[in-house]
Structure 1
Amino acid sequence: MKPWIKRTVIGAFIGVVTLGGLAACGHRPHGPMSDEQVTAMRGKAVDRIAGKLDLTEAQKAKLGVLADELIAQRQAMRGSAEPKAELQSLIAGPTLDRSKAQAWLDQKTQAVQSGSPKVIAALGDFYDSLNPEQQAKVRQFMSERRHGGWWGRG
């Protein structure tokens, strides 16, 4: 193959890969998700998992409770302000505001400690309601190392 043809093919391939990568990354929303987006994502995740595990209505209801508890825990961890703005305020001066950083960390730790029992209870209720075949599917999913899991595309 002539060198100029080889360079053209390689250049075109690199261009296609670069544009494909930009297109794949460019569709994601920037910034925090709205409540509507979280609710839509919750519905899609519950439906997708219910389909993969062939859940009964009672099991699907328990999965919905788990999803609601996870969303509540996420909101409690996030707090009322923007996390990025909170972090930026810690480094706004010439030194790190250590007392403010410790207070911020204490707030996040308290949110985890107060919300975790509900999340664990909901997870236990859901998992314990699964039959052995469904539990095996969950364990298999957890052992697989793939990006996105059941929530990913495909």
Structure 2
Amino acid sequence: MHFEEAVRADAARLHRLARRLTDTTHDAEDLLQDTYLLAWRAWQRSGPPERATPWLVTICLNQARSRRRRTDSMPLTPEDLSSALDADVVRRVTAGDVETQVLANLDTDRVRTALRRLPYAQRESLVLMDVCGLTAAESAGLLDVPRGTVLSRVHRGRQALALLLLQTQEVP
């Protein structure tokens, strides 16, 4: 497999991941550019990985974490939260648990804002499983944590997301 083929095969998945791990479209594009550059350099140096998808996702996650550490002290503005979260993602994030199924028709701005308020480890695990469609085992391997930790983070993340959405629910 050639580098271009691997990147093309995972472009949509990596784009979704980058959009959910960053605050703006611009930041997501920068993250992807850095991811592809590092991946290309590693590919040239070491050859193709055994499995390209987890390898590319790992590079993207590590780049996002590095960027997050550098910008943690910078406050978020409302403009930072302007990235779009499409209805399909809302359904995927809020589907699954009985407690969250009632939230499936919420407006995407509220879900996006609530998702941004989750602790980063919960958000990261939730995005990998519910947005990117990875299994708990795949997510655990990428995050370098036990499978149970991923499942726990996703469960707590879903609960926290539901609570945040209920707290911001408009009363008629």
TM-score, scaled relative to structure 2: 0.29
Asked which structure has the greater CA Rg, the reply is 1
TM-score of the aligned structures, taking structure 1 as reference length: 0.32
